[in-house]
Each structure stands twice: as structure tokens, then as C-alpha cells.
Amino acid sequence: MNVAYVFSTQNSHYILSNMILPQLKQGGHGLTVVGMFFFVDNTFMLVKGNDIGERLTKISQETGILIMACDKWAFVRKINDDLVAAARLGCFPDLHAALKDVALSQVITL
């Protein structure tokens, strides 16, 4: 089953760092993650040097998972030019276009 995550709550950092990323690294997540979209302050997780962003870059390079930061929030926070290599900037139309051919089964918002 192909899933995408939307990170929009203050709990996203803990869930991603301590649950999802370790499972993805070990190959035990149970689902195929095809994309991750970061909103509001969660965009800071994708700044260069941030442990989560750097870990996501490695996993994305190995698996092809789409990593996207909401462009509006990245521009507002002035981090649009300081994101990890794997992160793209975009909005919902960009996310939809990037995931249209991956047989997405679920979108999970955390």
C-alpha cells in the first residue's frame, strides 16, 4: 500500500524522528511511503543541518520518497534557500502532480 504523509501538527517532529524514520531505515514500516509534505513550523525539519532533514535526505536517495516543503511557509520563514538536498518546494498542485502516477492508497496527516 502506497501512502503519503502530511506533517502539520506540533507532534510531527516526535512521530517522524522516533517512529517513522527508524522504521523506514530498518525496512519495517509496513507500508510504502511515496511522499512527505511539510507545513507550518514543520518546514524547519528540512533545513540543512537538521538531523531529521539529513536523515530524510539519505532515505529519499535510497527509496525515491518525495520530500516537499510548503513553499508559502518556507518563504515566510525565510528558509526556502536553506533546505536539505532532497527537499522540494511546492504547494498542493505540485504535490498532486508529483504523486499522480504512484497509485496512492492513503494520505495520513500528522
Q: What is the pLDDT of residues 17-31, one digit of tens each?
A: 999 999 999 988 999
The HSE-up count of residue 81 (CA atoms within 13 Å, CB side) is 1
For residue 38, pLDDT over 90 is answered with yes
All domains of the chain, ordered by start, with CATH? Answer: 2-28+35-109 (3.40.1260.10)
Q: For residues 90 and 68, what is the distance between their CA atoms, to the nearest angstrom? A: 6
**Angle value at C-alpha 70, between 35 and 88, nearest 5 degrees:** 60
Mean pLDDT of 11-19: 96
pLDDT on residue 27: 87
Sheet holding 2-7, edge to edge: 87-90, 66-70, 32-38, 2-7, 104-109
Task: Report pLDDT for 35.
Answer: 98
* pLDDT confidence bin for 56, thresholds 50/70/90: very high
What are all long-range contacts of 22-28, with beta carbons under 8 Å and residues at least 24 apart? 24/59, 24/63, 25/55, 25/59
Tell me what the pLDDT averaged over the chain comes to: 96
Amino acid at 32: T
Residue 15 is predicted with a pLDDT of: 97
pLDDT over 90 (residue 61): yes
